[in-house]
Amino acid sequence: QKEVEQNSGPLSVPEGAIASLNCTYSDRVSQSFFWYRQYSGKSPELIMSIYSNGDKEDGRFTAQLNKASQYVSLLIRDSQPSDSATYLCAVTMDSGAGSYQLTFGKGTKLSVIP
Amino acid sequence: GAVVSQHPSRVICKSGTSVKIECRSLDFQATTMFWYRQFPKQSLMLMATSNEGSKATYEQGVEKDKFLINHASLTLSTLTVTSAHPEDSSFYICSATRGSSYNEQFFGPGTRLTVL
């Protein structure tokens, strides 16, 4: 069964620190990887997408991908209380007949302590 | 760009009634739209994949006669929950892609359904 694994947390970091969120996936041929942020009671919001090995930076966010290890991570620098949310790792997996679907991890709850 | 809207945002209905939820891509044409359901403290579960002009593809365990999906245009998909029961109470979220389903999905704000 194709899966995406995340630590559920909660992960607590002090304001200004770096938050590190990790994700592993089971489908070796996956090509697209995403991080979504979801506030309580709201729908997911796309933060980062990454498609090739290495790092991708966007503001305070850096996504890291290692396809050989089937591992993707998200670093949040200078964490702010407004970053407190659940972070969902999502991986595109082949659903058959040439179509793809997003498989989500269960999410890591991040709390940034002022 | 890539804004997706949903209507209504919240609905309360009596058991046995049907509820229609609309999902629109406002500033792009969505080749594929997806419908998810999320129960409290759980992750998103894909219900179905919808392509304009064709029948939706439902995930295993999702009753296609209960959750009717219509994708009438490249900017509109609807989900109708027929004969709703309390166990159907959930957060329903749609998403859309601009290209192939390989690409990033943009989510609507969700519809919270409560069935009394």
Digit-coded pLDDT (tens) for B98-108:
866 557 889 99
Partner-chain residue, chosen from A46, A95, A106, that has the shortest CB–CB distance to B106: A46
Cα(B54)–Cα(B56) distance, integer angstroms: 6
The lowest-confidence range among A82-86, A97-101, B53-57 is A97-101
Question: In this structure, are residues B103 and B95 in contact, taking their beta carbons and an 8 Å threshold?
Answer: no
Cα(B30)–Cα(B22) distance, integer angstroms: 14
Q: What percent of chain A has pLDDT over 90?
A: 80
Q: How are beta strands A33-38 and A19-25 bridged, if at all?
A: unpaired
Chain B hits for A34, Cβ within 8 Å: 104-105
Question: In this structure, are residues A60 and A107 in contact, taking their beta carbons and an 8 Å threshold?
Answer: no
Chain B hits for A105, Cβ within 8 Å: 43
Express each pLDDT in A54-98 by its tens digit: 999 999 999 999 999 999 999 999 999 999 999 999 998 776 666
What pLDDT shows up at residue B21? 97
Partner-chain residue, chosen from B42, B57, B109, that has the shortest CB–CB distance to A43: B109
Cα(A92)–Cα(B32) distance, integer angstroms: 14
